[in-house]
Chain A
Amino acid sequence: MTYLGYIALVLAAIAAVSAVTLLYIRSGRTGSPEHQMKLPYQMVYAIFGFVTLACLVLLYGFIAKVYSFDYVAANSSADMSLFYRISAFWAGQEGSFLLWLWFVSGAAALIAYLRSHVYDVLTSNALMVMSAVQAFMLAFMLVLGNPFKIAAVTVGLGINPLLMHWAMVLHPPTLFMGYALMTVPFAYALAALLTGDASPAWVERSQRWTLVGWLFLSLGIFLGAAWAYVVLGWGGYWGWDPVENASLLPWLGATALLHSFHIYRQRQSFKRWAISMSVFAFFMVIMAAFMTRGGIVQSVHSFEGTTGILVYYAAVIVTVLGVTGYLLFNRWQDFESKHIFESYLSREAVYHINNILLIFCSVIILVGAFLPQITKQTVGAGVYSAIAQPLGIVLLFLISVCPLLSFGETNLLKFGRRALIPGVIAIISAVPWFFYWKSLEAMVKSVNPSQALPANGWLGYVGFIVATFAIAAACQIYGSKIRLRMQGGEGFATAVGRFFVKTPGQAGGFITHLGLAIVVIGLVGSSMYTVSLSKTLADKQGANFSAGKIKFTYQGYEQTKGTGKEINTTIFKVVDENGRSLRNAEPAYIYYTVREQPGMNADVIIQPFRDIFMVFQGINNSNQLIFEVKINPLISFVWAGSILLILGVIIAVLPKRPGAPAK
């Protein structure tokens, strides 16, 4: 069986090389007659077919428990349910690479199919690039990361029990889908350079793919953070670890890319930006893969690397940068944009600054990840936070001001009129926010007096006000768009409906920005003012402690046995500061007997403006129970904002219905 999988990969590699060769010969700058283009497009389908076959073989290995597959034995065991056995497909390095490749080849085949009625030159060139990318990936799998190795053992090792969680099952494929889709704008950018076609055609063809890719990248980050919060029991969702940061790199690149695309289409401007950002986003995907799989970045998540893998990544990086650098240099003049900067006060100026800030963030993360290899110094979470907090607020401000500005040159009077209401709302909100901010500080002090308050707390306060401005500005724009439609004779409901249906890009974009503002409010609360308290208790009913004015009374504990694990659940009665009884908190300590590994099931009492997070950490040497309680203000805003953000993208991706947009 393993041979079949390997043979499928070899055939896929052959198909990929033929596709690149044929497409190179037959597309060129002008293209060939239709009958000559059929074969190369069929080659693109063939790669997809063979990669699919390889995937099915590996999947069969997991489903039928064929432990002669080294990869199957290493990542699953007989006692795992079918669902988790299937998800073990992407639990290790080789399988996740295969999945990633499958997504890339699927996207290529779909593009070939959708464009096979015209065989346009741009798409032929883009498919050539995508086939080349697949050839590179296949070379890696055939030589360095073969998922079809024959095993030496005959028993499955199983998966780490902490990973058996729906969010962790979905997290890797979601990210890999995002990675794979970033190949599309990269391929079309190279196609535009190869053909010298500086019209928006390549942007039109790759924009939606990029948007969907961005959606998956956002979802992937969201799922990872949610899992970390619930399962790992440390009460946080982001630790600025290099591998967590790695997932942020393509996202930052893709964000800059999407915004450059927008201006390219609207204004025939930002052409070099769009081309470079396509390459940049793809490059960041490679760097992200390198950081997680290259083995030289010190991280809590990374896989071990080998010299072969290092050499491979070096070759890929040199090829990508070399080829695109050369092409961009040759076509530099063709992609000149005329009027980038007609005024300091223009949308273009904001987009420009936005792009620079996003690139800056990516570069800091990259340097931070590789610094330990160069100077033996590590960049702590403190540095990232100190940079991310002010930049995040500045970015949010730019995002909210941008739609109030005009393209080209902004009329100051018009801008003032548009900014008036959100500005006034923001200024008024400064008063309640001040009291809320002070109450957060008081809360931290009352729960744990020894916990230091953040030195840059005022930045959080500013963040609250800016976020309010952003929310008010977004609402104002909705209002004005809908009012405009109503002036055209539409009823209120029709106007709202049509705004979403006829201009999904606009409507979705604003929802995404609204979501981002809400996320920022949540980030300020939960990253700056989360307070934690460690307590030990005797194992005695009625033992109690308080976190601030919230009282926890121990009721006892239950011991249950599951398959391969022992669960010790403690039960607490929780009474809040107003004397109201909340639901019982039941944090559990789990012992996984097979891997002899502990785990903690935190219990989170979710309230609108705070989470009460409780972990049972086991027993200390004097037989006391150890608990940690965290009060996590505004964290639900992070989740709610993220969901809104993702919803916005989904709306933007929806196909546009024909009909005149209200300008």
Chain B
Amino acid sequence: MFAWSLAIRNLRRRRLRTALTASGIVVGISMMFILLSLVSGMEAQTRSMIRALGGADITVSNSTSFRGGMGGGGPFGALPSPSTLDASIAEVISGIPGVYAVSPQFSFSGSISGRRITIYGIEPASYEIVTGGLNIVEGRFLAENSNGEIIVGNALMEFLNLTLGQTVSLSAGQGGKERTFNIIGVFETGMVFQEYAAYITLADAQDITGEYGVVTQILVKCEDPSIVSDVASLILSTVPGVRVTTPTAVIQQASQTLNTLTMFFATIGLVALFAGSFGVVNTMIMSVTERTREIGVLKAIGAKNHQIMKVFLAESLLIGLIGGGVGVAAGGILAYLFPMLTSGLFSVGASPFGMRNAGLSGRAISNIRLATPAITPTNIAICFSLGALVGILAGLYPAWRASRMKPVEALRHV
């Protein structure tokens, strides 16, 4: 339709005005984009921290403490083997309202190549549902039939000089067997202490320790993160002799803060955008007034009201699209530069467990940095369409005014 060519020509004829008007939107959109990217980045960080902390909403374990003595020495000594629960408790817990899924786990202190570490026996499928799975960096995750297969932490791999596909001997210490396992995958958490561990199937774990029908933890995922504490107390009152931990409580606090931040940032962005939209309204009213005679001519030669409206809506939509496009691009560049500008400001300080530092391996500490913006397609789409939306909304009134002009009066306009 000619509406588009008219709109494009007109914007081109007034390049400076178009640029200035669009820049009002650019400011709002780029701001919005940076803020959304920051929030997305924080969300991603939070997610990976949740994963690093074990992922489950609730961990149910025996209320009596560890059995047996402390595990082997060394800087990264394994945890002592915890007391067990009857495996059937998992069934009971899965029947509790609010529980989405449960995954039994048998962790024990075992040794690989003489090195004592924590071994987790898991049910791969339910483990992935409940915790989101492990961050596999090489190879693959366990499957239901992964008998004799093992996933080893990256730090341990490096420490013991192991390679993927290698066979290692795993023993469960006193009372247990010794069996060989094939390394089929390597996981990474970004936290060294968590990587001195290995995962095998629950069946293998029970077999190697000789403790059939029992588990050490039951990992629980709730239907909604907001009901975690309610479900936890429900578990406590329903199942005797257990203790619950909600390792993600802190993270949930963080994600609530994140939501508040999102709202806050979005509001700032919207206010900026709102201000920018007045520029568009102003420009469009100017454009309509300037072209009153043109509107009269178009009407005289037979343009209908909606066709006139289309001409001006096309124009303001184009301004919005330009503003949205440039805004996303500018915001993207700024979001990309952001970590360099704020380097160190938001990074997590030293932790008692010692974050992996750049010297230890190639992976930088930025792994755990909080404010690394994430540029996601969703954010691009949101910001771009927001620009278009502002363009259309800002153009509605001027376009309507143009369409309502009386042809005779419009033609008289000088």
Chains A and B bind each other: no
Please report B residues at the A interface, Cβ cutoff 8 Å.
Answer: none
Please report A residues at the B interface, Cβ cutoff 8 Å.
Answer: none
